[in-house]
Structure 1
Amino acid sequence: MYSALEIEVKDIYSQLLLDEMNPLNIEVVARHFDISLIYKSAESKAISILNKKVIFIDERKNSFQQKEDFCHELCHILKHTGAQNNTHYLFKQMQENQANAFMYHFAVPSFILNKIDMPNSIYEAVPFISRRFGVSFDFAHHRLEMFYRNLINFPNYYNQIQNKTMLEYAFY
């Protein structure tokens, strides 16, 4: 049983015919959705005007951070319309929260986390997820916290994981 966001991400992955064993390729995803990717020395941003979609990626960031930014901006392209600068700050905050949630789930999908043999220690799992999905250590750590928080709060949430060992957790 997955959340609506997790189902949406799984559907997008199957629609894109993405290889679950390889890190997400943002150029392939952009091409599929007819999004122009532009790398420049400016904050990452998404723009959609008259069916022309563009995601600007900050070229000053490393490839992990660029992928994370892409996933965030992809949510804005797929789910949001209009310019945020003219909206109420609470509405803008809601859209940013949606984009952040989408970013974590799209870059490191739950349905793939369920399938992989995860290391039993958080100290091993974070670098494993970072390498496996091509995301930063901080991103991998936060995503694992999200994933395991759902397991703890909703024991039947991921019924196919019941036999997996829970990570030993320690702050670092």
Structure 2
Amino acid sequence: MRYAPLREKQITEIMRMKGIRTVSDLTTENICIAFDIDLHFEPRRSRCIFEDDFAVVILDSRLPRLQQRGKFFHELSHIIAHVGDQKRLNEPFKDLQETQAYWISLYTSMPRYLFEPAAIKYQSIQKLQQIFDLPEDMIIARFESIKRERKRQEFQYKMARSESKRRPKSLQPGQVYDSTLSILNQLKNQVGEERLSYEVKRLL
């Protein structure tokens, strides 16, 4: 989880608290039990209804099974991350919630602590699609999200290291500021070198 964004870390903690330890725990039935969701299949657009103490997910029965799985995790993401009724929101807020639910659905359906080991082991989109039982476009999107986050954080680490090398460290031997050395030498003259601590002596 070194490269994970904050939202993904939060979702990961929720999934672990709900007992999602292996890929086999990611079945629709198990997730419904873990999150106390009442699941229905109807010939209409997928949606969810939820309050603090209950949740209902309605999946479009006309969709292929893998698409239903993807929609299920999308609706789960609304339940986990959002509050209120979307019907009462204006369009920009609805669009924002839909975008958030899309990304969160990648975290919930393919938690990194399960996805990365499988990806390293198999290195095959098709195999991962079979393992996680999800549409291919979701598998690819999960790969891409992890790659982007790695690149972003590696760039930040590189910039931080560069800045650290550029700036002299005031309390490292051989890299002490002249003003700091002057003060330390004054201290040595006043109290005597034998009374200085080892940490001070090593800087002079």
TM-score range, shorter chain: 0.7 to 0.9
> Does the 8 A contact of 1:24 with 1:107 survive in 2?
yes
2:126 matched to which residue of 1?
A: 127
Q: Give the structure with the higher percent helix.
A: 2
The structural deviation recorded for 1:9 is 2.5
Structure 1 counterpart of 2:61, from 54, 59, 62: 59
1:154 matched to which residue of 2?
A: 153
2-structure distance, mates of 1:130, 1:73: 20
Q: 1:48 to 1:113 in 2, by over 3 A?
A: closer
Query: Could you tell me the percent identity over the aligned residues?
Result: 24
Structure 1 vs Structure 2 CA RMSD:
2.2
2-structure distance, mates of 1:57, 1:103: 15
> Does the 8 A contact of 1:26 with 1:67 survive in 2?
yes
The structural deviation recorded for 1:25 is 0.9
1:46 matched to which residue of 2?
A: 48
Q: SS at 2:67's partner residue?
A: helix
Which of 1 and 2 has higher RCO (CA within 8 Å, sep 6+)? 1
Q: 1:154 to 1:22 in 2, by over 3 A?
A: same
2-structure distance, mates of 1:23, 1:141: 21
- Structure 1, unmatched stretches of 5+, are 158-172
> Does the 8 A contact of 2:57 with 2:72 survive in 1?
yes
2-structure distance, mates of 1:87, 1:109: 29
What amino acid sits opposite 1:69 in the alignment? K
1:112 aligns with 2:120: no
Q: 1:106 to 1:15 in 2, by over 3 A?
A: same
The structural deviation recorded for 1:118 is 4.2
Moved more, 34-43 or 56-65: 56-65
1:13 matched to which residue of 2?
A: 15
Runs of 4+ in 1 over 4 A off after TM superposition: none
2:141 matched to which residue of 1?
A: 142
> Does the 8 A contact of 1:76 with 1:99 survive in 2?
yes
Q: Deviations over 1:121-162 (max 9, x none)?
A: xxxx211221121111122112211122222232289xxxxx
Task: Report the structure number with the largest CA radius of gyration.
Answer: 2
1:26 matched to which residue of 2?
A: 28
What amino acid sits opposite 2:48 in the alignment? A
The structural deviation recorded for 1:23 is 6.3
Q: 1:103 to 1:136 in 2, by over 3 A?
A: same
What amino acid sits opposite 1:79 in the alignment? A
Q: SS at 1:56's partner residue?
A: strand
The structural deviation recorded for 1:36 is 0.5
1:78 matched to which residue of 2?
A: 80
The structural deviation recorded for 1:108 is 1.3
What amino acid sits opposite 1:26 in the alignment? T
> Does the 8 A contact of 1:104 with 1:143 survive in 2?
yes
- Structure 2, unmatched stretches of 5+, are 157-204
